[in-house]
Structure 1
């Protein structure tokens, strides 16, 4: 008899959970999404492409598949329909009329895709809940929570394993979302785009963590906008705040997959928004998988037990997390085989490959981009801020 799938909280109690990575940036690079629009209509227009990316994350070690539903709202879909799709032949879009496509249809397809692929690897499916527009937020709590319920309706109908609210810039909105998500009676996780200086209204990182936990989230953390070094600084502050408040809440982190920056003042753009290279010239800033190994280890040692990535984290980055924590998890990701990535290089007859079949070689390597290797507890050097 097949054993029931372990839930999120059960897995966290036993050890570390590896999240998945980037969807919208990766789908744009692969030709299935549009920069600027950042909407997930590919779930309906190109479901095979979405399935393949989910499958690659599972193969590289993901324990969780997030539904590709970020920024899925009727308001946003209609905003881009004419501008993006009017001149695209219908047969290239699965014969779908974008002007009549609804968020409910996109979300239903996204859940079906994620649940189908999750069964291949025993992964959990997280329903991804997005922040609202500034217009909706300023209409107040009741209006905002009704909008969150609209996002959640399909998750409730199809039965996801847990809910994940992410990318909130104001803790007040995160609280409203959490209060709404807990109505479903399943585990709730919530992350914010937080630099160490606090949220967009000046609330400290410590207080953000406490407020999210008290609103009902079993798992709190930070995601996107900032690179691992900055996100881990924020995570340390979150941990501090929760411990001081006496709250036993799991921590999670899913950073941006490129070296970014934290200008530290509200007067300047923040994170990737401050980068002149975003989004079309980011490749020189990309994290190497060696960077991600170090990030995963430092996150784990800090006490973070849900470790994944956000925009820019490709499947091979998730593989780096899973391999770094293979001993703690008791297994390598399927893509690494029994040997793991380092030792597998010894299989090659070329001597220069075999000499690299150990972590020490890679740990002492200076990337060819010229970046110096620094501890992730330090901010990126000024030379990265162009």
Structure 2
């Protein structure tokens, strides 16, 4: 009997984790490469699941795509690893009432991926071709966090082999939702419409949360539901993920899976033949319950968050942001707070605080921004670097900002740790600046990165960094356009030191309907100018500017005056072209940027008086 015919009236039991068994038996390295070098071990694992009652087993090919095999230098063996995986599963199933699924795993895992859609599509297609060459009974697509990637995979299989049954399993970000807030029912309906024959959930969650998610699902006639829960939530032991051994618990939950209308029930991470035996003993030969077959609409109550003060991006008067970096030393905190108050009183619309710029440890900018808001009355704008926080910490940080009433942020990649004072520290980079912008915008819609409702919508205004000091302004603007598509509300540039670059920037961004704050960092002496030009990424000074600063020699007063003169020339042109300035305070010398801020305000008032 064909797979789908068998599935129509009977619950089929799938197998559990292959990797768990192979690791326990001493295999190391690529699990999938065991197909070529540990064939007996792989066949034995399949047979253990068959003896436990599984009548659907997977080929040992979950991560056998070219992109993941590159981690082991095995990409050139992709075809044989996949074909051999199906052959070994068929050998184990020979003469038994068991179906063989050719397995393809998702490539994106909910974090930033180095691979684009075309690379992922090509890897999926080549793996699918290798699996199909051995004629499995069904193709299983599992552990997909990205719905787009899974839809693309379904299309690939159906184009290569229109009659091949396809199982499409999503992995959830939270109970009932995929990453990005997509309700699981909507996702599964999409997969059904794309041609997947069996649709469901696997990995990420144990039985309880999987069942809770299944309760939100209602499918059309003809669609079959699958579930492959993890053994439990994972723990860490000796550097490895470990799962609780709980077969009796699985047995107690089996009937709940049947009540939810599951036709195919197996296990994922941490599950063993004993878990599968528990399902078999409870459900062997039973029919799935029939659930109501009307589409369930996801209803989400979203309360409006209290709107905090945000940067007025549509103001017509000159708008000025002034950067004042938190100090490295606790002894300079009073000076920092005095600086923030001075800048606020001079007329700065916001005081912006970098996030450990140049990978140098400073007083936390969240704590510093809270203090300047409370004690100086200044409006804070925080930089958020992707370098220092993983995805969990990043979302937590953003929620903390919102709870403290801080609404304006700048998303930046962050300088690598090797340039700073802790070169041995780890650069995290779970997110790119593009991902961070999208995360913030999702939170503004009321969803966490996992898709879980936050209860309230955040009200962040998010800026994007832009470096105009590049060889190709056009390419830089193309990158900026992607940040705007991701959701950026305004732009802050790296410091610019010549008027010609300002005009080039204006021309290159004329089509962009977004406020641009032009970066201006006053110079203080010739040595400072040479350091910035030669050693700081993203900053270039003209020969004329460097010469003017060099001529000041070691005269401190003359150096500051010349630096201010250059800054005034640049800010005059910047205001005429863009109407917005981003002043960067050098070395906590806030009297310089306060004077420049006052100069802008004075000129603006005079112009209004005479207009």
* 3-state SS, counterpart of residue 286 of structure 2: helix
Which residue of 195, 217, 232 maps to 1:216? 195
Spell out the pairing of 1:34-53 with structure 2 (5 A cutoff). 34=29, 39-53=31-45
User: Could you report, residue by residue, the CA deviation over 1:325-359 in whole angstroms, capped at 9, with x for unpaired residues?
Assistant: 13527xxxxxxxxxxxxxxxxxxxxxxxxxxxxxx
What's 1:55 paired with? 47
Which residue of 14, 18, 21 maps to 1:19? 14
What's 2:116 paired with? 139
Q: Distance in 1 between matches of 2:143 and 2:120?
A: 16
**Structure 2 residue 132 is the aligned partner of structure 1 residue 173:** no
Q: Distance in 2 between matches of 1:72 and 1:17?
A: 25
Q: Distance in 1 between matches of 2:31 and 2:6?
A: 31
* 3-state SS, counterpart of residue 191 of structure 2: helix
Q: Distance in 2 between matches of 1:316 and 1:202?
A: 35
**Structure 2 residue 258 is the aligned partner of structure 1 residue 280:** no
Spell out the pairing of 1:293-304 with structure 2 (5 A cutoff). 293-304=251-262
- Kindly indicate which of the two structures has a greater share of residues assigned to helix: 1
Alignment length (residue pairs): 282
CA contact (8 A) 1:171 1:211 kept: no
User: Could you report, residue by residue, the CA deviation over 1:146-195 in whole angstroms, capped at 9, with x for unpaired residues?
Assistant: 32110111222111111110000011111111111122121111101113
Deviation at 1:212, TM superposition (A): 1.1
* Unpaired runs of at least 5, structure 2: 288-611
CA-based RMSD: 2.2
Relative contact order, higher structure (CA 8 A, sep 6+): 1
Deviation at 1:7, TM superposition (A): 1.6
Q: Distance in 2 between matches of 1:309 and 1:228?
A: 9
What's 2:286 paired with? 328
Deviates more, 1:25-34 or 1:62-71: 25-34
Deviation at 1:234, TM superposition (A): 1.4
CA contact (8 A) 1:67 1:126 kept: yes
CA contact (8 A) 1:164 1:189 kept: yes
**Structure 2 residue 4 is the aligned partner of structure 1 residue 9:** yes
What's 2:128 paired with? 152
* Unpaired runs of at least 5, structure 1: 1-5, 82-98, 261-271, 330-386
What's 1:103 paired with? 78
User: Could you report, residue by residue, the CA deviation over 1:280-310 in whole angstroms, capped at 9, with x for unpaired residues?
Assistant: 3635x222x2111122211012111101111
Distance change in 2, residues 1:280/1:49 (3 Å): same
What's 2:179 paired with? 200
Q: Between Structure 1 and Structure 2, whose CA radius of gyration is higher?
A: 2
CA contact (8 A) 1:33 1:40 kept: no
Q: Distance in 1 between matches of 2:114 and 2:170?
A: 16
Distance change in 2, residues 1:217/1:60 (3 Å): same
Q: Distance in 1 between matches of 2:238 and 2:209?
A: 18
Q: Distance in 2 between matches of 1:276 and 1:56?
A: 26
Distance change in 2, residues 1:33/1:247 (3 Å): farther
CA contact (8 A) 2:192 2:223 kept: yes
Deviation at 1:278, TM superposition (A): 8.5
Give the TM-score normalised by the residue count of structure 1: 0.68
What's 1:123 paired with? 98
Which residue of 51, 63, 75 maps to 1:71? 63
Distance change in 2, residues 1:109/1:191 (3 Å): same
User: Could you report, residue by residue, the CA deviation over 1:17-40 in whole angstroms, capped at 9, with x for unpaired residues?
Assistant: 110111112211221134xxx541
- Kindly indicate which of the two structures has a greater share of residues assigned to strand: 2
Q: Distance in 2 between matches of 1:76 and 1:306?
A: 27
CA contact (8 A) 2:22 2:31 kept: no
